[in-house]
Structure 1
């Protein structure tokens, strides 16, 4: 086991960059508009940036009201690495928060966090205005407000090409339909985890949007509004974020130690799994050939949802492979004895997954 671990740690750097590419980038960088001029207005924008970050990391709109965060809401400088600005209009403050300090502060406040490994979302955004109806496609100027809103809310958004075939499918009828079949069919080429359909309309000078989100067998829906297309986009992304987060964030006291086995492991998959489990205090306990056993701090529902993002499937107990030779166990001591043969035959009542 120690030979396996040494080999992994020695080679991990070769593929870590590729594994990290699927994470939400810039999760701890927040941009907020400055309402006014002077130091006081910038301080207010910096404080708002903290509120936005807390919502990104917890998915809970009430989290910022936690009394333990009152001091940081008033002055977030203790967890800020850098503050900059972008030229307007409007002027925007750019706040770089320190990930380690931020996470410690939020966990100390009793909050659970949503990690950077999040479901990729393919957005079908149909716009209906006085100028006509159009589908927002990747590379179009109208895509920029959607991308900014997704980054602001910590969501990995993808947009379709909006070619002729996709425009024929993504009409108002299919965008608002409860059956996502036609949209899912044209979405397959993009390989996203979730499909978001939005019908945005300009009504009496305001923007309203009906949205639906499909992730696996689940469906979420709602409506949002905004003063302009950018405000509507932010409202939709906020709603989607708060609906998704409960699948991956376990409330304090709702999680515990869960044993899990993963079949079909190799070096690249080991690195990918380490990234997926980074927020759950995963400890590698045993190696049986290509079957790895972990102990993690999570709920079973949360673990199932998170591993589904990595395209792992749950394996029924009756399909579990027979135990193989145990190489050893992971521990802090370099003189730790190997696992006894009896340990290999201990019953396993945790979750089983396979690539």
Structure 2
């Protein structure tokens, strides 16, 4: 198998491949707002930062109540590689957690981890207030709260340029529509995996929003509120993260040993597939031509969601072939059969 895999790397052709999924910055770095740099506030901030990280990695608010993690929340520094301050505003404690230590703690607590490859979301975010309406563009001041919230919640976020043509598309009527037809054409050039439409309104200093999310064939929607643009953005991103996580994070006890067969691979796709499957403990069993075979631990739905980010299509598992015969008409020794629970995909 080693020789076959080496030949795959040497012989497969290289060509440009559209990017899929995205990594939300440093997944294990948390910017936690704090009131001051006093020791008591720092200690509380480090504990909150760990809670933020656990929620980001699991997508499950119940995870921060895990008794197996209580000791880490009391003393988070055993999972921290370094920390410092960012003056902002707002003042924030910037905490870098050690990925191996955190993942080991979560595994010991029986909590699955949502990996770094996550669906990229294009956000059509409309702010409405007494001063008027404005579509938030990626270079505008209003983009800062959205980017901070997306980083905090582990979501790769894209914003439109919000030029004159896009301002005409990003209206309240289009953003609140039940179907995103009017937004789809303008979204194509951004090559995002999903579309997030948010209508945010300010009234008396309070903010509230209606949001809709489209990813593949699924649709999610909800409402959020906050006392400031930052609080509202964080509430929206948190809600979106918690809706997405069940698709990509296997529920406790739902994962099982699976065999994955992939057809149509090349060197670029092989490397990207390795990253995509890494959270599932994938082990390459076979590499032959443009075919790959892995053994991994996941639920079928979780695997479908992850591979959907790479635009792979599920294919029926090929039926077992007749055994090959030698020159005397006797069956040749059978090749090791793929383990059960086989799923097959192709590009």
TM over 0.5: yes
TM-score scaled by structure 1?
0.88
Sort the Cα spacing of 1:283 and 1:37 in 2 relative to 1 into closer, same or farther, 3 A: closer
Matched, 1:234 2:226: no
- C-alpha displacement at 1:186, in angstroms? 1.4
Moved more, 92-101 or 33-42: 33-42
Matched with 1:199 is 199
Matched with 2:307 is 307
Q: State how 1:37-76 maps to structure 2 within 5 Å.
A: 37-76=37-76
In 2, Cα distance between equivalents of 1:347 and 1:81: 40
Matched with 1:352 is 344
Matched, 1:343 2:335: yes
SS at match of 1:234: helix
In 2, Cα distance between equivalents of 1:19 and 1:106: 29
Matched, 1:221 2:221: yes
In 2, Cα distance between equivalents of 1:342 and 1:354: 25
String of CA shifts for 1:62-96, please: whole Å, max 9, x gaps.
10000011111111011100011112444211110
Matched with 1:257 is 257
In 2, Cα distance between equivalents of 1:241 and 1:196: 12
Matched with 1:116 is 116
Q: State how 1:1-355 maps to structure 2 within 5 Å.
A: 1-6=1-6, 22-317=22-317, 342-343=334-335, 350-355=342-347
Sort the Cα spacing of 1:317 and 1:93 in 2 relative to 1 into closer, same or farther, 3 A: same
CA contact (8 A) 1:19 1:272 kept: no
More RCO (CA 8 Å, sep 6+): 2
SS at match of 2:61: coil
String of CA shifts for 1:109-139, please: whole Å, max 9, x gaps.
1101100000000000001011100100111
- C-alpha displacement at 1:11, in angstroms? 11
In 1, Cα distance between equivalents of 2:20 and 2:308: 17
- C-alpha displacement at 1:174, in angstroms? 1.2
Moved more, 79-88 or 126-135: 79-88
Q: Which runs of 5+ in 2 are unaligned?
A: 325-331
CA contact (8 A) 1:35 1:45 kept: no
Matched with 1:331 is none
CA contact (8 A) 1:20 1:275 kept: no
In 1, Cα distance between equivalents of 2:239 and 2:204: 23
How many residues end up aligned between the 2 structures? 337
String of CA shifts for 1:295-339, please: whole Å, max 9, x gaps.
110011000000011111112346x8989x9xxxxxxxxxxxxxx
Moved over 4 A (4+): 7-12, 18-21, 320-323, 344-349
Moved more, 203-212 or 3-12: 3-12
Q: Which runs of 5+ in 1 are unaligned?
A: 326-339
CA-based RMSD: 2.7
String of CA shifts for 1:212-256, please: whole Å, max 9, x gaps.
000011000001011111110011000000000000001221110
